[in-house]
Structure formats: structure tokens, C-alpha cells
Chain A
Amino acid sequence: MTLAPETTDLRIQLQLGDDWLTVCDLTQLTPGRGVAALLPDGRQAALFRDRNGELYAIDNRDPFGGAAVLSRGLTGTHQGRPFVASPLLKQRFDLETGQCLDDEAVRVATYEVRAR
């Protein structure tokens, strides 16, 4: 992949324990869409950026189907809160808390994320 460092030097970082893992350039995140990142321990994170520039990161696995696809879902705002809808069966997950909005018993992990 070709990076484009001249447009920005801001990079997206994900908190893992005490460390911050650099994932990609901020410009690689289209507002309203997500990307997936592979973590050192084999887990996967889905990173999102909303139209106001806020960043979010949750687990990439769809807890209903098991496929690692939440990063490919559509994002939106529900009652002021950001969410992603799984592309498999459309369940929605709060991007800040990981809570499934359509099944209160289900929640996915969330990660701290920053741009610097």
C-alpha cells in the first residue's frame, strides 16, 4: 500500500494495555466508513471516523455471525449516539460502548483510539 505522508502526519493509534499501536494514517479513514486492523494478539479491531472527525474503535467480529466484518458496516447516528450496522444481519452497535442496540444481552469490546 502506498501511504501519502505529504497530506498529513496524523496517525491513528489504538490503546493496547499501556501501549499505543499505530494503525494507519488518518487520511485512510473515509468519514462515515470503517477499516479493520489486525492486533498483535490476533484479534481484530474496526476503526471508524464520523463526519465531525471523531474516532471510534470496536471489535471487528460480528458477535451474531462470527465473521470479522463490522468495519464494513454502515455508520450512523441514533439519538445522538454513533453506531455501526453489521453488514451481515444489520444489528446495530454503539461505537462508544460496544452495546448492541437491537439485543441488550450482546456487547462487543471497545478500544481507546486517538490521532497524533
Chain B
Amino acid sequence: MTATLGATPTIVLVGHGMVGQRFLEALAERGLTATHRVVVLCEEPRPAYDRVQLTSYFSGRTPEELSMTDMEFIKDHGIELHVGDPAESVDREARTVTARSGLVVGYDVLVLATGSYPFVPPVPNKDAEGCFVYRTIEDLLAIEEYAKSRATTGAVVGGGLLGLEAAGALKGLGLAAHIVEFAPRLMPVQVDDGGGAALLRTIEDMGLTVHTGVGTQEIVTDASGAVTGMKLSDGSELATDLVVFSAGVRPRDQLARDCGLTVGERGGITVDEQCRTVSDPHVFAIGECALASDGRVYGLVAPGYEQAETAAATIAEDETEELTFTGADLSTKLKLLGVDVASFGDAHGATADCLDVVYSDSRSGLYKKLVIGRDGTLLGGILVGDADAYGTLRALTGSVPPVSPEQLVLPAGSGGGAQLGPSALPDEAVICSCHNVTKGTIRGAVTDHQCTTVPEVKKCTKAGTGCGSCVKVLGQLVNAELEASGVEVDKGLCGCFSQTREELYEIVLALRVTTHQQLLDRYGREGARGGDGCEICKPTVGSIIASLAPTIGASGYVLDGEQAALQDSNDHFLANLQKNGSYSVVPRIPGGEITPEGLIVIGEIARDFGLYTKITGGQRIDMFGARVEQLPLIWTRLVDAGFESGHAYGKSLRTVKSCVGQTWCRYGVQDSVRMAIDLELRYRGLRSPHKLKSAVSGCQRECAEAQSKDFGVIATANGWNLYVGGNGGATPRHADLLAQDLSDAELVRLIDRFLMFYIRTADRLERTSVWLERIPGGLDHVRDVVVHDSLGICEELESLMADHVAHYRDEWATTINDPEKLARFVSFVNAPDTPDPVVGFVPERDQIKPDLPLLSIGMRPADVLEGSAQR
């Protein structure tokens, strides 16, 4: 590049949008800001901001948060940034630019990054009061003001990307929102008819009204000239107070036309592969105002960035870096009104002889199409409703995927779905297309640059800092690479112990450790010794000690000595804390069998204390609304009537459900009630890593639902089948058959071993279902250990359980006979007879429920919401 002799060469950038800012960064990276004077003329009143995320203004992001310009960067590099002062003319002979303020700047290199302007169709009254475009922060501010003061209905002309965003914004402002799209479907550029249909359904479900296949013919106004409606091409009229035109954009090339630069037929400043204008070697054009060498104008930010880099590299004249821009991938992934929409590669199947693989579920608003070449190459695709696979699929485009295309579009869990992770990608696959970062570069950031977190990798490689659509894949890659390079993941129980729960169990058992303090001070992490432990290790160690109490010589009573301090709040009060600070009480009803007298006692107690009663899922009765000081009184009466603690508060055996079995049922083949009672009484009070549930069914009809339990028993003609590892709840798991046709004694012995092996080896809060999936060898290993005694520990497991059974005592009976322990059951230590004033109740359906407004009296409700306030 020729420079004016004797003076610092000057680069003038016209336009400070996203691409302009990127160009400045590219200059700085190449040292050009040090050797050149850089002057920026910016029309908008604010420096570059994130136009892609413009709509997030309506969900609370401020213009300041949208800013992409670090003023330190501008200052540090001596860049002269003039905001609110657009370039008005260029004199290419004199090489000067004149700004609106009258400022004249001479240039050696001129870079036009003037962007585009919204296309407004030439309909009558298009400039009426209440008509807007959707392009700048100022546009949004104006729409917001008009919508709040003068409109109840709004219509968007254009059902493309920005149109949908604008319609969502109008709805968010409380308007009834309409979308008018001339094409027969929404987002006609990105998706096909199938994708458009999936999108339409989801958008309509959100309460937006969509009119496709109709054009706008005229804006209707009232006498004052304000919008009242629009006439459509099908003859109908749509009443609306506000119109937003979002019918596409056009390159902003007037400045170039005025100074005689060549522009394309349909607009755009014609540039070569270096992004230099074909008319003048001193002038470049980048971004949406440029007509690239492949004859296209690119409206996406990623190609604009690439052009910015290309122009900067060309200006730097560095022979080691010869960049060209010859065209770009139009792949996009968006979240529109909460709906994932992505298209990549040859999304519309323009390639000769290509084939489609389509999965469509309009009920769920899902549509996935892959375009496949004759040879199996993935050419492109469209994803609507779920675009999680976008990052991987886009990177695979141009190659033959390692699994069949139908596996790639079928949802997971449908039998065919394959979760193709980023590990399947080659190193040269582009993960971040905004910054053109390959998988190899990302792996290198971890292996060569010692990055250990996604934010570090983003900083190091710039990957994920553009549109952000690749961040998920990025996270997977970084984790995979970390694991591969052997970075140790701390498997310790908590910040206090580096051992797992299983390791702590072995220590406690082998060394007969009976207190948490002893364990912490001898085996805790360096910094944690001498401390108080934490809310994770205290109950975990408390549980281990309780499970092994008789064997290691600790007290079997969980409120004795130090153990009292280790228990979770529920165990400490032997009841279940509810949201207002009251407790619920569940007496044990073994097997769900209860006498009429028992029912009457429970009913009388509930009535006398005004408790809410409900039948539980485990065939017992829960009484809610007890104040802490009422618990001993309630339990004194329950114990008197022969009830025991139901351990509903503990990580321990809950219930053993049963069906009525052979005794009454015409189908029953064994006495399931008796077996359920025997099992419940045997394992009651057994502390374990998580709660334990069980059931016994009297025949294969399985009315007790035993296969959804941690251990379930089903009667056969020859005895009992034992199932383990079942679960209901959020992640249901059907139990696995452990052994068949067991006698009573065999069944009990096998359950003894199974439970003790689980208690010994499971993680904290790990249900049997998860444990069975995690433990190396799974069910087969567990069967080897507990059935075939492969580890030679069965005798020990049985003896541990025998100790537990022999030493069981009812916790509540012990507590109500101990005045010192009872003293804890007060709301206030200094006013033992005063109830907690926050605990109150109001009536509902002839019973009580918590008085929730009482809970907010005297509280600052803003506390919780601070920092997440919505506009």
C-alpha cells in the first residue's frame, strides 16, 4: 500500500457496526494501529453493539450491555472514533472523506463498512406515524415508546428471522402481535415447507397470529395520519396500531455510488477476493454493504468477520498471511422466540441427485431434515424445534457421517437415535464458524496452552465468542480433551474429605472410628482438619456410623452425643420439615396392614392436634402441620398405642408395600402381607446412602408394584423372585431380576447381603438404581458378589445385618423417655412454651394448609429477586 511520504499513513473506516469493530481488532492484532492513524466515522450515536442480539433489549439487556466496544481498546490503540458523525462524501482523487460535521479526513486506505438498511416496500402511507423498522437500538426505543403509549395491536411485515424476533418483541410489550409474510411459509430463506409448518405451529401456540401468502398493499391511517390498519393482497384488512417493516435489508451503498465506485445491479459495492473495490485500490468494502467476488451480498455476521480479517490482512501486506474471501457458509442456528431453528450447508437440496432424510413430529414442533448425496455425503440440513446436533452436523457436512443419516435425525430414546458426539469429528472440522476455529485448534488450547475451562478456551481461541451456537460442542470437546490428557477429577466426597463415601465406609469399619471429628482430624483434607466439616460429610459420616453402630461400638441412637450434631435437620427432629417450619409425622405401618384401633388412634391424634392427614404412596398415613414442640406430645400418644417411627425423615428403609396376597386374593400364590411385614420389621431403622423402598406382590399380577422398588419381591408358585434396582420418580427404572424361586430364608439372606453391599459401596444419595448402573460390572457383578460370594464377603455382610437387626430400637420411644433430648423440641430455647409465630395455618377442603403470607411478613421480598429483575 502506498503511503503519503513523511506523514503517518491514515486508514479511515466508515461505519462502526459489528464488522467495523472486528476490522479494528484485526488491525490492532496486526500492529497496524501502531503504524497508522485510524479514524472511524460512525453514524449511530453509540459505538458498535451486538446487533445480532438486538432483541435481547426487550428481555432486559441494556444498550450498555449490548455494546461490543471496549473504550479502553479504542484509547489504547489511539483510534479516533467519531460517533454520531456519518461520512457524507468521498473525494477519491483528493483521497478525503467529509463527515456531516464538516470534518475532512485524508486517507491512504478507505474501508467502507456501512452495512445495510431495512427494505420498506413502497406501499402507500409507509411513513405514517406508527410505522417503524427494526434495525438499531434507536428503532427499538421508538417502538417501545409508541407501543406503551399508543398501541394495543402490532403487525410485522415479514416473517423472516428479524420479523419473528420483532413480533416476539411486540408480544412481550403486551401487544396482540400479527406476522404478515408474503411467502407461503415462515422463514422462507432458511427452512423448507416442512420446517415452516413445524415453526408455524409453535409460533401460533405462543399466541402470535400468522398470515402467510399475503402481501401488504396499503397502510391505513386516521385523520391525524396515525396507523389504524393495513390492507392485504387477499382483500382483507387487518386492524393494527403499529407496523414494523422487516422485509429484508439492502446494502447501504449510496456513499459508494456517489463517488463513482462500481456497485452491483441489485446493490452492493463490488469487491475482489481481497475485499478491495474493483474500482479503486485504495478503497475496501466489508460486511453487508459489499458484493463479494462470488456475486453475493452476505447478511450474516460470520462472513462479515471473515471479510474484516481479509481486508486487514491485505492492508498489512504480510506475505505470510494471504487471506481471501471467496464466499461463505450460510449456516445459521438461532433461537427464535424460544424455538431452535438451524440450517446448514445445502439446506434446500439444490445439489443434483441428492436425497432427503426427514423426521417430522408436528405435535412436538420438531422437524429435522438432512440432505444426503448419492455417495452418502452429508450435504446440509434443516433443524426446527431441537437444534442440539447443529454443531456436530455442520462440522460433519461434506463428509460421510460415521452412523446412518436416519440415526442422526431420530430423537434419542426412540430406538434409533444415535448421540454422535464431537469426538467423531476430524481435527479439521470447523467448530466455530464465526471465527473459523477448528477442532484441532480447540484441542490444542487444552493440550498446548493448558486451558482447563471453556472460558479459558474461548479467550485463547475466540471460539464461541461470535454467535455462541457452538458453545455446547465446545464444552464437550474441552471436557473430552481434559479427560484424555489425564487431568484428575476430584472424586472426593466434599471439600473436607478426598475419599469417596465407599472409602470412608471402609475406614470407619476397619478402624472402628466412631465420631466424625476423629475421622475428619485423621483422614480429612489438610485444610479441613480441626474444622466443623460441612453439610455434606456430616450426615454422610453420621449415616455410615449409624449403619455400622453395633459392629463398631457406636451408639445405635442417632441423637446420642456427637451423632446428634451430624444428622440432617429431619433426622435431628425425627420428623419431616415442611415449607413453613412445621413438621409432618409418619408412624410405621408395616406392610400397610393396620387395625381399626390403629386407624382410630391416628385419627384421634390428628384431630386433637389439628393436623392435615393424607394417605402416602407407601401405604401409610402422613400427618402434617405439627409444631416442633408438639412432636413429643404426638409421639407419646403414638408410642402408647404401639406405633413406632416410620423413618420417613431418614435416609433409611421407608416402607415395604404389599398387596393382600394369597390370604384373600383369588390369584395370590404366597402370603405377601406377612412377608412384607417381616421384611419391614427386619430392615426398619437401617441407615443407608439414600432412602430404601420395597414391596411384595402375592402373584405375577404385581399389584404392589415391586419392580419399581429398590428391592421388590414377587411371589411364584415355588417361592419368591427378588428384583433389585427399581425406581419410580423422575427417572423410572424397571428393577432387574436378581434370583428366582427363593425360599423365605434364602430370600431374606439374599436381601441382607444385597442391602449391606449397597450400603458399603454406594455414593452419598445414590439410589440402588443409579448405583447398579454405575458400579463396574453392573448387575452381573452384584449377583456374583451377593449370590456366588465372589469376594468372600457374604458372611461379613450377613453378620453386619444381624447386628443391625439385634440392636434395633425405636428412636421415638427412646427420645420420649429422655428428658434431655426432649428439651430440644422447643421453638425457642428462652421461651419453651411459646410457639413460633411464623407457623400458622388456614383452612382448605375441611383441613388445614400452611399460611404462606405469614412467611413473607417482615421479609424483604426483593432479596431473592435481586440481580434477576426483569424489565
Chain B neighbourhood of A78, CB < 8 A: 495, 534
Query: Does the CB pair B579–A67 fall under 8 Å?
Result: yes
Q: Check A2 for interface membership: any CB of B closer than 8 A.
A: yes
Q: Check A85 for interface membership: any CB of B closer than 8 A.
A: yes
Query: Does the CB pair B531–A77 fall under 8 Å?
Result: yes
Contact pattern, B 571-585, Cβ under 8 Å of A = 1, otherwise 0 = 011000101110000
Chain A neighbourhood of B495, CB < 8 A: 78-79
Query: Interface majority SS on A: helix, strand, loop or mixed?
Result: loop
Q: Check A113 for interface membership: any CB of B closer than 8 A.
A: no
C-alpha gap A92/B535 in the complex (Å): 9
Q: Check A58 for interface membership: any CB of B closer than 8 A.
A: no
User: Most chain-B CB neighbours within 10 Å: which of A36, A52, A61, A85?
Assistant: A36
Query: Does the CB pair A65–B855 fall under 8 Å?
Result: yes
User: Most chain-A CB neighbours within 10 Å: which of B565, B566, B824, B855?
Assistant: B565
Interface residues of A (CB under 8 A from B): 1-2, 22-24, 28, 30-33, 35-38, 42-44, 47, 50-52, 61, 63-69, 72-80, 82, 85, 87-88, 90, 92, 103, 105-106
Chain B neighbourhood of A76, CB < 8 A: 496, 531-535, 537-538
Chain B neighbourhood of A52, CB < 8 A: 530
C-alpha gap A43/B527 in the complex (Å): 36
Q: Check B484 for interface membership: any CB of A closer than 8 A.
A: no
Residue of A with least CB distance to B866: A105
C-alpha gap A64/B862 in the complex (Å): 10
Chain A neighbourhood of B564, CB < 8 A: 30, 33
Query: Does the CB pair B569–A32 fall under 8 Å?
Result: no
Q: How large is the interface on B (under 10, 10 to 19, 20 to 34, 35 or more residues)?
A: 35 or more
Chain A neighbourhood of B826, CB < 8 A: 1
Interface residues of B (CB under 8 A from A): 495-496, 517, 527-528, 530-535, 537-539, 562, 564-566, 568-570, 572-573, 577, 579-581, 819, 823-824, 826-832, 834, 836-839, 854-856, 858-860, 863-864, 866-867
Known contacts A80-B527, A87-B569; decide if A37 and B828 are in contact (CB<8 Å): yes
Chain A neighbourhood of B863, CB < 8 A: 63-64, 105-106
Chain B neighbourhood of A85, CB < 8 A: 534-535
Residue of A with least CB distance to B837: A42
Residue of A with least CB distance to B860: A63
Chain B neighbourhood of A87, CB < 8 A: 568-570, 577
Q: List 9 A-B contacts (CB under 8 A).
A: A32-B562, A38-B827, A38-B830, A44-B828, A74-B569, A87-B569, A88-B577, A88-B579, A105-B866
Within the complex, what minimum Cβ distance (angstroms) separates A45 from chain B? 9
C-alpha gap A56/B468 in the complex (Å): 46
Q: Name the one of A1, A22, A80 contacting B832, with C-beta atoms under 8 angstroms.
A: A1
User: Most chain-A CB neighbours within 10 Å: which of B824, B837, B863?
Assistant: B863
Q: Name the one of A72, A75, A82 contacting B577, with C-beta atoms under 8 angstroms.
A: A72
Chain B neighbourhood of A22, CB < 8 A: 830
C-alpha gap A42/B835 in the complex (Å): 12
Query: Does the CB pair B531–A80 fall under 8 Å?
Result: yes
Q: Name the one of A2, A69, A80, A105 contacting B581, with C-beta atoms under 8 angstroms.
A: A69
Chain B neighbourhood of A67, CB < 8 A: 579-581, 838-839, 855
Query: Does the CB pair A51–B838 fall under 8 Å?
Result: no
Query: Does the CB pair B532–A38 fall under 8 Å?
Result: no
Chain A neighbourhood of B832, CB < 8 A: 1
Within the complex, what minimum Cβ distance (angstroms) separates A49 from chain B? 10
Q: Name the one of B533, B534, B537, B838 contacting A68, with C-beta atoms under 8 angstroms.
A: B838
